[in-house]
Amino acid sequence: MVTGGQRNDGAMLVEVLADISVPRLGRGRPRTRPDAVIADRAYSTGVIRAELRRRRITAVIPAKSDHVAARKRRGSAGGRPHAFDAEAYKDRNVVERSFSKAKQWRGLATRYDKLAITYRAAATIFAIITWLRT
């Protein structure tokens, strides 16, 4: 899904989650709900966490340090800290390495293309070339 250059990633979360379709190995309709979403601290907003909770998706997102400090300042009224699976979060580096490879393509990293279709085509070509090399 390609958005405008200044568009926030979190604003597109609902559309991205709606487009998920993972085919099953055997018979049956494809899965449309992931087991978990692993993200960095930038996605630790209440709106994103609420949407994932509404869809019954585990959020593996560390809490921002200012949120932790505010909760501690409020004491028992600060609420319960968010659950965080540190072992699952370690798998996030695979995605980060993939983005690092994509940034080697200057056109993808700088987003010079004016049309979304040409940018998407470059991303598809990059994915095919990367897949063929492995």
pLDDT in tens, 110-126: 777 777 788 888 888 88
pLDDT grade, residue 4 (50/70/90)? Answer: low
pLDDT over 70 (residue 79): yes
CA–CA separation, 59 vs 117, rounded Å? 31
| Neighbouring residues of 113: CB distance < 8 A, sequence distance ≥ 6 | 107, 119, 122
Looking at residue 123, its pLDDT comes to: 86
CA distance 78 to 99: 36
Q: pLDDT tens digits, residue range 40-69?
A: 888 888 888 888 999 999 999 998 888 888
pLDDT: which is higher, 3 or 112: 112
Q: Which amino acid is at 53?
A: R
For residue 78, give both structure tokens: 């600060």
Q: Residue 38 has what DSSP assignment?
A: E
Residue-wise pLDDT tens digits, 17-34: 888 888 888 899 998 888
Note if the pTM is more than 0.75: no
What DSSP assignment string belongs to 44-89?
Answer: --HHHHHHHHHTT-EEE-PPPHHHHHHHHHHGGGG-PPPP--HHHH
Instruction: Return mean pLDDT, the chain.
Output: 83
- Which pLDDT score is estimated for 2? 62
